[in-house]
């Protein structure tokens, strides 16, 4: 039975991986379509890459701010110093960059349990809250640039039988993230009511043998939302999220100087680009958000009047500057912890597929 279950998991993971590869290939087609390769290579050769260094430094300040935000969200469960959270945060982002389906989020929850004993369900609740606030801030970045967004009305990418436009992404993203934010805030403010409603579904939809275990996981998940019960805490998390993404946009600005585009592209356009590409990376893709980051980013710059070859060079370098440093640092911290990905993968399998007890999760 266990082997059959693991077989189903492996099949599902392979299916998710190849779907992501297919979607990335579609987005990459739009990157290279009509690209003047000579101009593209010239843009890369002419860039002043020293500008990447301050950009990387600012980005790591943003990562430290992310670690502080996670420490703040976890404080009602267990106070953990930010310097302890920083390496785990780096490992998580490394996992997101290398493994499919944002496996890094589960990876950092697993490591936090091993180091600090925080239940994975509660930890994952705080991570989901992070993602929701990130999405809300990204949408704010998009909607403060509505005039620029209107220029992207005709920019679309076919996915299967559908075409996704940048505007569609913003509209549907708004509904998804704001809807999720409302649900999580209500669950945090009314935990007893939420637990009763959740228990009602557990008792009626799940087999008897896993009801008690699922109920234990649900209660620990609700414990992870405790920080949202205070309006002051909600405001603090939101403001921290704004600071995090403004710092990341500053990195975009530094890399922009490497290509001499500071006179053509405003900081607000970079905010729009940051919002759009990060919303697009919620679409399943190959590891490292290949294609889903690049095609929308290039589209935003082209709509701002930047030549496609230069826009492609800039976006490619920016993508690498975002990917390489945190991945290398995360891999270093993972090795320092003496952990192997296979260990975390087994823990992820336990979390998502096996009949676990409340104490396990």
* pLDDT at position 6 over 60: no
From 226, 217, 246, 220, select the one nearest 72 (Cα to Cα). Answer: 226
Structure tokens at 316: 């490619």
Taking the C-alpha atoms of residue 36 and residue 307, their distance in angstroms, rounded to an integer, is 10
pLDDT at 48: 96
* pLDDT at position 160 over 80: no
* pLDDT at position 53 over 50: yes
Query: CA angle, corner 153, sides to 147 and 155, nearest 5?
Result: 125
Q: Which residues contact 331 (CB under 8 A, 6 or more apart)?
A: 94
From 72, 93, 180, 92, select the one nearest 135 (Cα to Cα). Answer: 180
pLDDT at 353: 34
Residue spans of alpha helices (H) in 75-119: 82-98, 103-116
pLDDT at 149: 67
pLDDT at 356: 35
CB atoms within 10 A of CB 230: 13
From 276, 247, 270, select the one nearest 257 (Cα to Cα). Answer: 270
Query: Is 157 in a helix, a strand, or coil?
Result: strand
Taking the C-alpha atoms of residue 223 and residue 59, their distance in angstroms, rounded to an integer, is 31
Average pLDDT (151-158) is: 59
Please, are residues 347 and 110 in contact by the beta-carbon 8 Å criterion? yes
pLDDT at 58: 97
User: What angle in degrees, to the nearest 10, is found between the helix axes of 52-74 and 120-143?
Assistant: 130
* pLDDT at position 4 over 50: no
Rg for the chain (alpha carbons), in Å?
21
pLDDT at 85: 96
* pLDDT at position 268 over 80: yes
Taking the C-alpha atoms of residue 89 and residue 109, their distance in angstroms, rounded to an integer, is 10
**pLDDT (tens digit per residue) in 281-326:** 877 777 888 888 998 899 889 888 899 999 999 999 999 999 999 9
34-48, 168-182, 184-198, 221-235: least confident range: 168-182
Model-wide pTM > 0.85: no
Indicate the domain borders of the chain: 2-353
> How far from the centroid of its chain's Cα atoms is residue 170's Cα?
16
pLDDT at 354: 41
pLDDT at 358: 38
Phi, psi for residue 157 in degrees, rounded to 5: -130, 125
For 95, counting Cβ atoms within 10 Å of its Cβ (0-12 exposed, 13-18 middle, 19+ buried), the class is buried
Structure tokens at 144: 């403060």
């Amino acid at each position: 039975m266990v082997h059959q279950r693991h077989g189903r998991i492996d099949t599902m993971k392979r299916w998710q991986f190849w779907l992501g590869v297919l979607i990335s290939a579609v987005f990459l087609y739009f990157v290279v379509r009509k690209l003047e390769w000579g101009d593209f290579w010239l843009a890369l050769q002419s860039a002043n890459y020293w500008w990447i260094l301050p950009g990387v430094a600012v980005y790591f300040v943003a990562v430290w701010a992310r670690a502080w935000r996670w420490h703040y969200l976890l404080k009602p469960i267990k106070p953990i110093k930010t310097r302890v959270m920083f390496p785990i945060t780096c490992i998580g982002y490394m996992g997101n960059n290398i493994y499919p389906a944002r496996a890094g989020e589960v990876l950092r929850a697993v490591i936090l349990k091993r180091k600090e004993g925080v239940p994975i369900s509660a930890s994952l609740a705080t991570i989901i809250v992070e993602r929701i606030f990130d999405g809300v801030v990204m949408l704010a970045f998009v909607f403060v640039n509505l005039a620029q967004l209107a220029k992207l009305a005709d920019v679309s990418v076919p996915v299967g039988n559908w075409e996704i436009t940048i505007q569609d992404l913003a509209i549907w993203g708004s509904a998804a993230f704001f809807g999720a934010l409302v649900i999580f805030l209500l669950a945090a403010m009314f935990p007893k009511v939420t637990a009763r409603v959740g228990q009602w579904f557990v008792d009626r939809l799940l087999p008897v043998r896993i009801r008690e275990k699922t109920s234990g996981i649900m209660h620990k998940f609700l414990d992870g939302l405790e920080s949202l019960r205070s309006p002051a805490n909600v405001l603090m998390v939101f403001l921290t999220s704004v600071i995090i993404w403004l710092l990341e946009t500053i990195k975009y600005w530094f890399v922009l100087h490497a290509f001499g585009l500071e006179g053509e592209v405003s900081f607000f356009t970079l905010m729009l680009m940051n919002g759009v590409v990060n919303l697009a990376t919620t679409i399943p893709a190959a590891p490292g958000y290949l294609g889903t980051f690049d095609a929308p980013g290039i589209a935003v710059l082209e709509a701002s009047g930047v030549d496609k070859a230069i826009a492609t060079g800039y976006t490619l370098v920016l993508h690498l500057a975002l990917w390489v440093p945190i991945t290398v640092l995360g891999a270093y911290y993972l090795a320092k912890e003496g952990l192997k990905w296979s260990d975390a993968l087994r823990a992820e399998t336990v979390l998502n597929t096996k009949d676990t007890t409340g104490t396990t999760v």
